[in-house]
Homo-oligomer: A and B are copies of this chain.
């Protein structure tokens, strides 16, 4: 199932700047019973990206389109790609652009339930994230680093891969954000230089704040990750997976991880 600019369609023009340059953004939205989860957070991030790229952003039209698509999809993943639209030759964005939206639907991924209960093992990716503050935090269409990182392993024993920046700091996982717990404090890497500011990461930070948990967004070294009491990864599709192993280090599933899993598990009913 796919829509282009709000109409059922399977193709897009070869002159789209999303195709030529990755000149656009995307959101991967979990849809349950026709309801897109965390929609305000998705639209908010998309709006920030459009602002940074000077792409016109009509939040009401987008919301209507996603709602209509979700109603037809019922349950699954709705992926929204928003590009600057068509362009001629050259990097320079046209002064008057007409953004294009592409919505595609897919079934919810069938992850083994053990990933949530027992936890996952992380693959230590060799591909590093370049430090580019101009793009940091955004879910833009320039994703070759993630493609290269995800291609590093095929062994299904690894559910996710840990990504560091070119200076060695811990940033995120390939398709997830990462948190650690250190003597009762919840920490997650700063995304000022690279990384995607995931909507589930935002949701967790807000819920932790509301629950009065001490938390900190800061630079994190690999040593600090390995010394943490608890580690988990998160995204908007699966919620939270405890991390049980990275290289030789093994963690039990910790109490704060369990508590946060409970807080975000009821997303469908409470938001």
Contacts and interface: CB of A to CB of B under 8 A. Distances in A.
Given A142-B142, A174-B91, A175-B91, A81 B19 contact: yes
Contacts of A89: 77, 79, 106, 109
A18 interface: yes
Interface stretch (A36-44, A124-132, A209-217, A257-265): A124-132
For the side of the interface on A, what is the size category? 35 or more
Contacts of A157: none
Interface of A: 2, 4, 9-23, 26, 53-54, 77, 79, 81, 88-93, 102, 104, 106, 109, 127-128, 130-132, 134-135, 140-151, 166, 174-175, 194
A166 B12 contact: no
A102 B18 CA distance: 14
Q: How many copies does the complex hold?
A: 2
B14 A150 contact: no
A11 B14 CA distance: 5
B135 A54 contact: no
Given A21-B146, A54-B151, A92-B151, 8 more contacts: A10-B13, A11-B11, A19-B102, A22-B22, A77-B89, A88-B106, A91-B143, A134-B145
A53 B142 contact: no
Nearest to A132: B130
Contacts of A104: 14-15
